[in-house]
Chains A and B, each alone.
Chain A
Amino acid sequence: MMKKELGLLLLLVVIFAITGAINPAFLSVVNLLNLANLIGLFGVFALGEGLVIITGGIDLSLGSMFALLGVIFVDLLTTYQVPWPLALLLVLLGGLALGGIQGFLITRLKMQPFIVTLCGLLIYRGAARYYTSDSTRGFGYGDEAATLSNIASGNVAGIPNTFIFLIILALILGVLLHRSVYGRWLYAVGKNEEAARFSGINTNIVIATAYIISGGLAGVSTVMFVFYTNSVSPSSFGNFYELYAIAAAVLGGCSLRGGEGSILGIVLGTALLQVLQNLVNILGIPNSLNFAVMGTVILIGVLADQQLQARRRRKAALAGLARTAPKPTLAQGKPTTAPRGAAALSAATDEQT
């Protein structure tokens, strides 16, 4: 499992080195800090998406959630003059609630995650546009939430807070996923839900919790994006962002079939995606090729990973054969087991009578 992350890290380092050699501006402090900010922004909700993907599901609604929660958040602060801690709380609760509804539909009403979250994508976006009559919401000239703005988009000793948030959340979720019982169950449910249920695990709650966490992280991301762009245009805010999250998770080693992936992998996947986008700009590759470069790298990355895994599996199978081969000669007990069974039988019946 660690091999995947190590490979990703290596790839990241190589790309850094090559791009840095071609254009030293890539390694300038300004660019690196900008990169860190973007990784933070796009990493937080990718973590939630990763958890959902590990359960074998998918969350397509994140970008629309940003739009809906974003317009509500800005409206709360500007139109209704709600104090920022309350507005923040409401947005986070809103994210958790949306995740909870999706989790309920998926686990209790047995709907497919793809359908539920696809409808979420459409509904939230539509609701955001209707609510604002398709007009952009932004902050006025007053500083409605200067404190929160400083927290969400400021920096500590130059390091963007968004990046620090990502690291903190990744550490928390890393412990949750890799060290806690919940994480263990998440992996089990993702791979074999039936087995998990037979083991006495409440699989519905495990799965629903993943969607709720994803919704909550979408709330956090909403606030960070709102203060990054300072305005929310309901028809384009967060458009396609769920795909960045899915791409990051897949690039980071999550399998869409569930049961695989790690927090470190998701963070590295996000970093790689952002580095690729940045590199397109820095190297003067036409901006229109941005998505094409991303797509190609993901395709090659996943393909290479699959090939490597298949090779490792073949090797392991061969090693397994070599290991178990001498066994039949050792346990040449087929003729002896039958009498043993019969002997045991007579002994057992003697006891009973």
Chain B
Amino acid sequence: MVTAHAAGQPAPALNQPVLELKGIGKEFGAIRALHGVDMRIFPGEVIGLMGDNGAGKSTLVKIIAGNFPPSHGEIRFAGETVHFARPIDARAVGIEVVYQDLALADNLTAAANVFLGRELKRKLGPFSLLDHKAMAARALELFGELRSETRPDDLVKQMSGGQRQAVAIARTRLSNARLVMMDEPTAAISVRQVEQVLGLIHRLKEQGVAVMLISHRMPDVFAVCDRVVVMRRGEKRADKAIGDTSPEEVTSLITGAKEAA
């Protein structure tokens, strides 16, 4: 009985959304930045979040990441209602953000960046020293999982844009994040590296991580996303499976040529 019950448990968990937003709204004084946004993201799903500048994308991302609380609405993470006071609270439940300007320290190695703020230590009497070997080994493992050729002991300043993304994404794997939000990961890099980054998103998906891709680049969104959500003037105007829409439709939704879909 008990075993059957335990075995039955994971199945509903898989069908449960990682993140569920209900009626999220945000006002800054008299300015209404977001209004009534509902959204669900499932494990292993890649969602493209699109919209023009000022459409409310970053406000939404910042609310999910715990930078500030919503004025209205409810955030549910893995079925539980959550309130994030600080970004660290969001990270604690398993939400990671990969920032556009890649929050990496150039002067440190790839491994050091992966473990920044979460360094592995080994005790030496009363002192705890950095465990360089263990960190390099674990980082190599993570890069292997992502099928990236990044070497743990290389300095980040010597790396290409794609490799930097790999380092930033490896950080999220280290904490076993269940939802990774990526802010314009393909904006400032070459075509070949865009491919690498899209590959990285596939790896995350394979491992059951939900990914929210905030991007202006239509081809990238259509290459990796399962679903696209379009924001306009603080409201969600569309939420469609990629197969049911086209770049043209999404464009008209973003610009407002088409009101909603």
What is A's interface to B at a CB cutoff of 8 Å?
Answer: 175, 179-181, 183-185, 187-188, 190-192, 194-196, 198-201, 259-260, 313, 316, 320, 324, 327-328, 331, 333-334, 337-338, 340-342, 344-346, 348-349, 351-352
> How close is A130's CB to chain B, nearest CB, in angstroms?
43
- Decide if A338 touches B223 in the complex (CB within 8 Å): yes
Closest A residue to B115 using CB positions: A184
- Tell me if A179 and B104 are in contact (CB < 8 A): no
For A191, list chain B residues within 8 Å (CB): 105-108
Q: Does B198 contact A (CB under 8 A)?
A: yes
Not counting A180-B130, A191-B107, A199-B118, a sample of 18 additional A-B residue pairs whose C-beta atoms are within 8 angstroms of each other reads: A175-B129, A181-B121, A181-B128, A185-B117, A187-B105, A187-B108, A191-B105, A260-B107, A313-B158, A337-B195, A337-B199, A337-B223, A341-B223, A342-B242, A344-B226, A345-B243, A348-B44, A352-B42
- The answer to whether B223 touches A346 (Cβ under 8 A) is no
Chain A residue nearest to B220 in the complex (CB): A341
CA distance A337 to B130 in the complex (A): 40
Q: Which residues of B contact A (CB under 8 A)?
A: 14-15, 42, 44-45, 87-88, 91, 97, 99, 102-108, 112, 116-119, 121, 127-130, 158, 160, 171, 192, 195-196, 198-199, 202, 205, 222-226, 241-243
Interchain CB contact under 8 A, A199 and B116: yes
Report the minimal beta-carbon distance from A91 to chain B, rounded to whole angstroms.
27
B116 with A196: CB separation less than 8 A? yes
Once the chains bind, are B112 and A184 in contact (CB under 8 Å)? yes
Residue contact A188 to B44, C-beta cutoff 8 Å: no
Contact A340 B243, CB 8 Å, known A179-B129, A192-B104: no
CB-based nearest B residue for A258: B107
A184 and B129 form a contact (CB under 8 A): no
Chain A residues near B196 (CB-CB < 8 A): 331
> B45 and A320: CB pair below 8 A?
no
Q: Is the CB of B106 within 8 A of A180?
A: no
Closest chain B CB from A9 CB (angstroms) = 22
In the complex, 23 of the A-B residue pairs with CB atoms within 8 angstroms, ordered by the A residue number, are A175-B129, A179-B129, A179-B130, A180-B128, A188-B112, A190-B107, A192-B104, A192-B105, A192-B106, A194-B103, A196-B116, A199-B118, A200-B118, A201-B117, A259-B107, A324-B160, A328-B192, A341-B223, A342-B242, A346-B243, A348-B44, A348-B45, A349-B243
Nearest CB in chain B: distance from A325 CB, A: 10
Asked if B198 and A199 make an inter-chain contact with CB atoms under 8 angstroms apart, the answer reads no
Q: A188-B116, A320-B158 are in contact. Are A259 and B241 (CB under 8 A)?
A: no
CB distance from A293 to the nearest CB of B (A): 32
Most buried by A among B103, B105, B195: B105
B202 touches A340 (CB 8 A): yes
The B contact surface, by secondary structure, is mixed
Q: Please report whether the interface of chain A is mostly helix, strand, loop or mixed according to DSSP.
A: helix
Pair A259/B106 contact, Cβ less than 8 Å? yes
A344: chain B residues at CB < 8 Å are: 202, 205, 226
Q: By the criterion CB–CB under 8 Å, are A195 and B104 in contact?
A: yes
Bound Cα distance A195, B116 (Å): 9
Flag if B112 contacts A348 (CB, 8 Å): no
**A316 and B158 contact, CB distance less than 8 A:** yes
Residue from the list B108, B121, B242 in contact with A188, Cβ < 8 A: B108
User: How long is the Cα–Cα vector from A333 to B199 in the complex, in angstroms?
Assistant: 10
Whole-angstrom distance between the alpha carbons of A61 and B195 in the complex? 52
- Report B29 CB to chain A, min CB distance, Å: 24
Residue of A192, A331, A346 ringed by the most chain B CB atoms within 10 A: A192
Is B128's CB under 8 angstroms from A198's CB? no
Q: Is the CB of B108 within 8 A of A184?
A: yes
B130 touches A341 (CB 8 A): no
Cβ–Cβ < 8 Å partners of A345 in chain B: 225-226, 241-243
Q: Which residues of B contact A324 (CB under 8 A)?
A: 160
Bound-complex Cα distance A344 to B226 (A): 8
A353: shortest Cβ distance to chain B, in Å?
Answer: 10
B108 cross-chain contacts in A, Cβ below 8 A: 184, 187-188, 191
User: Once the chains are docked, how many angstroms separate the CA of A199 from the CA of B99?
Assistant: 11
Q: Which of A320, A333, A342 is the one whose CB lies under 8 Å from B160?
A: A320
Chain B residues with CB under 8 A of A184: 108, 112, 116, 119, 130
A345 to B48 Cα, complex, angstroms: 13
**Roughly how many angstroms separate A183 CA and B117 CA in the complex, as a whole number?**
12
State the CA gap A337–B107 with chains docked (Å). Answer: 34
Q: How far is the CA of A275 from the CA of B158 in the complex (A)?
A: 36
Q: Write the nearest CB–CB distance from A282 to chain B, whole angstroms.
A: 38
